[in-house]
A and B are shown apart, each in its own frame.
Chain A
Amino acid sequence: MNVLTNALAIAASELRRNLGRALLTALGVLIGVGAVITMVGIGEGATASIEEDLSSIGRNMLILNPGTGRGQLRTQAPPFDLRDADAIAARVPYVELTAPTTTVPVLAAYGGEEVLTKVYGAPNAWFAIMDRDVAQGRLPTEAEQRSGAGVCVIGETVRQSLFGGENAVGARIRVADTSCQVIGVIAAKGANTMGIDEDDVMVAPLTTVQRRIVGSTDVTGIFLSVDAPEHIEEAKAQTLALMRERRHIGPRGSDDFSITDTREVATMVSGITSLLTAFLGAVAGVSLLVGGIGIMNIMLVSVTERTREIGIRMSVGALEGDVLTQFLVEAGLISTLGGIAGVATGLLGGFVGARALGVIFTVNAPVTLGAVAFSALVGVVFGFYPARRAAHMEPIDALRHH
């Protein structure tokens, strides 16, 4: 213990003497540890944000759309109709609610303001399936649904664009070539995992949209809720089979519609983020390795410079182990100090980065403590070779060194 405390004292005085050099060396470790903690912090923050979205994404939900593929590659296919939704509700077990919808982009206007948004023609079941509700006003009544009344519920983004600080409920707005009365404002939800603003939306009775805006009885999407997560797979398979039958697709024919399990998509995105976190962490880990090599360099220089001192210490009774300990402690001290400073830097970087990216700021305690421990380890591992070189010197050679 005596030798260890003594080695610590020697190391501390060596560091003070070569402060600039020690700081530069520690900087390598600082950057490495800081990078690891920042990257892991931001990555985990992003994952946590996604998982939070995931829990608010609505019930156990499936969405049917005609056509397959995405974006430009999406195939054209005949739309659904109301009877499809009824058939699913009647024949697929576990399905609780169905909401046949038709979605269309529209220009909405009020006073001098205009906004491009999209309107869902949907029954009130849509709100239950999507886990949404009105913050002000009300949903359409049964009678309004049946008659296709000119009423609509608007999202917060639309309300903000058209009304600003004014009261929206009760106002009459233009939507495409018709008009409707705002009867409610949907509680704000913000952007989802894909960055799409879920408040940039309007909802009107399905009949209203079909008759007044689209001019057909097409259904372009069917939203389903399933009673429990463990039944999603089963419900999905049965819905698929049912719809293939209804759309007369033979056993060899490929689907001309898609069923999206939103939770699956979110889980996939979350998985990608986790992978990215690990990847970034690994890249940052490489910089820690480079920092370690910096320590080895400095320690080798230090051993060469202090060869004579090592010889003196050996001649007055230092054993190999004493010399080894002295240099290992010195290397460990440099890297640990760098590591601690790196934690501070990394946490700060993670905080700032998370703010900038709009994700949750998380501190991963095991990673943080692990980074400090690892930095100490880096010092000891990379200090070992120089230290061993010092300890293995023949005292007489060390003493003759000038």
Chain B
Amino acid sequence: MIGREDDVVIRIRGLRRVYGRGDAEVRALDGVDLDIPRGIFLTLMGPSGSGKSTLLNAIGLLDVPTAGSLAIEGREMVGLSRRERALARRERLGFVFQGFNLLMRSTALQNVELPLVYRGVGRAERRRRSLEALAAVGLADRADHLPNELSGGQQQRVAIARAIVGEPEILLADEPTGNLDTVMSHEVMQLLRRLNSERGITVVMVSHEPEMTVYTDRIAHFRDGRLENIETVKEAA
């Protein structure tokens, strides 16, 4: 599903992220303008060091841009305090990482419950919603397993359940299939696509695997910290 172009959920203007100073200065983002419409599934692509991951981290409020503007749902995020960023992050955003980033000593269910714990959701409600999220990723029967008792694909699906359990508007995925084999990769991509179309969650994904982009609506190509062009993905045959 492609969102309405006039309903922009993330508006980025002149975004810069500079590391280091003087000769050692690295411009990871060098003035990026980008509007992300609601409900779109967008891939950020580009070679290593092109700025795609930096942009994803900036959108995720995990990293602080050096200059420019980043508005989510019309609210400016650059210049917010740590606490305001953390609150906005937990209200609106869900994360999926390449390395899954599950707590290894907690069960699948406990991992999924984590965002609700920090939102102060009660025990019973937390459990119900987390089991629901696990069911949505097809792992209802694995709730009590520890991450190392699950396959890589299953672990990533637990991570996805954790990302959506708080019903975020935006799902950010940093190379979600980077650690998975082909079969698992396609499973995960299909799952993300389904969540995107069924729930209307805006998904922004960083990937360097062209075959995964077929599940997405558009591809934003990056080079040297700049957005080169945006390509619309043709409907899969």
Do chains A and B interact in one complex? yes
Which chain A residues have a beta carbon within 8 Å of chain B's beta carbons? 2-3, 6, 13, 17, 308-309, 311-320, 322, 394-396, 399
Query: Per-position contact with A for B138-168: 1 when CB-CB < 8 Å, else 0?
Result: 0000000000000000000000001000100
Listed by A's residue number, 26 A-B pairs whose Cβ atoms lie within 8 Å are A6-B117, A17-B105, A311-B101, A313-B114, A315-B60, A315-B62, A315-B97, A316-B90, A316-B95, A316-B114, A316-B162, A317-B86, A317-B89, A317-B115, A317-B166, A318-B86, A318-B118, A319-B83, A319-B86, A320-B86, A394-B63, A394-B64, A396-B62, A399-B62, A399-B97, A399-B101
Q: What is the number of residues of chain B that contact chain A, defined by CB distance less than 8 Å?
A: 27
Which chain B residues have a beta carbon within 8 Å of chain A's beta carbons? 57, 60, 62-64, 82-83, 86-87, 89-90, 95, 97, 101-103, 105, 114-115, 117-122, 162, 166
The smallest beta-carbon distance between A188 and chain B, in angstroms, is 67
CA distance A312 to B118 in the complex (A): 12
Of all chain B residues, which has the CB nearest A13? B105
The smallest beta-carbon distance between A382 and chain B, in angstroms, is 24
- Write out the residue numbers on chain A whose beta carbons fall within 8 Å of the beta carbon of B90: 316-319
Contact assessment for B62 and A2 in the assembled complex, using a CB-CB cutoff below 8 Å: no
Contact assessment for B117 and A314 in the assembled complex, using a CB-CB cutoff below 8 Å: no
CA distance A319 to B114 in the complex (A): 13
Of all chain B residues, which has the CB nearest A308? B101
Contact assessment for B62 and A394 in the assembled complex, using a CB-CB cutoff below 8 Å: yes
- Write out the residue numbers on chain A whose beta carbons fall within 8 Å of the beta carbon of B86: 314, 317-320
- Write out the residue numbers on chain A whose beta carbons fall within 8 Å of the beta carbon of B63: 394, 396
Contact assessment for B57 and A396 in the assembled complex, using a CB-CB cutoff below 8 Å: yes
Of all chain A residues, which has the CB nearest B54? A396
Contact assessment for A3 and B118 in the assembled complex, using a CB-CB cutoff below 8 Å: yes
The smallest beta-carbon distance between B17 and chain A, in angstroms, is 11
- Write out the residue numbers on chain A whose beta carbons fall within 8 Å of the beta carbon of B95: 315-316
CA distance A142 to B86 in the complex (A): 98
Of all chain B residues, which has the CB nearest A311? B101
Contact assessment for A2 and B120 in the assembled complex, using a CB-CB cutoff below 8 Å: yes
CA distance A311 to B86 in the complex (A): 12
* The residue from A2, A13, A314, A394 contacting B122, defined by CB atoms under 8 A apart: A2
The smallest beta-carbon distance between A201 and chain B, in angstroms, is 74
